[in-house]
Amino acid sequence: MADTNEGTTTARRPVRRAAAARVSAARTEDRLEDQISRLQEEIKAIGGSLARLTDEKISEARGNAQAQYRSAVKSGKNVVDELSEQVNSYEGQLVEAIRERPLTAVAGAIGVGFLIALLSRR
pLDDT at 1: 46
Q: Would you state the pLDDT for residue 2?
A: 47
pLDDT recorded at residue 8: 54
Q: What is the 3-state secondary structure (H, E, C) of the chain?
A: CHHHHHHHHHHHHHHHHHHHHHHHHHHHHHHHHHHHHHHHHHHHHHHHHHHHHHHHHHHHHHHHHHHHHHHHHHHHHHHHHHHHHHHHHHHHHHHHHHHHCHHHHHHHHHHHHHHHHHHHHC
What pLDDT shows up at residue 100? 92
Give pLDDT, residue 9: 56
What pLDDT shows up at residue 17? Answer: 80
* Mean pLDDT rounded to a whole number for the chain: 87
Q: Does 81 or 25 have the greater pLDDT score?
A: 81
